[in-house]
Amino acid sequence: MTARGIIVSDDGRQRCAWHGNLEDYRRYHDAEWGRPVTEDIRLFEKICLEGFQSGLSWLTILRKRENFRAAFAGFDYDRVAAFGDDDIARCLADAGIVRHRGKIVSTINNARRAQEMRAEFGSLACYFWSQEPPVDERPAVMDYETLVANPMTPASKRISRDLKKRGWTFVGPTTVYAFMQAMGLVNDHLDGCFCQPEVEAMRDRLDRRFAATAAS
Which residues are designated catalytic?
28, 50, 58
* Residues 88, 107 contacting (CB under 8 angstroms): no
Name the residue type at position 13: R
As a whole number of angstroms, the distance between CA 113 and CA 118 comes to 9
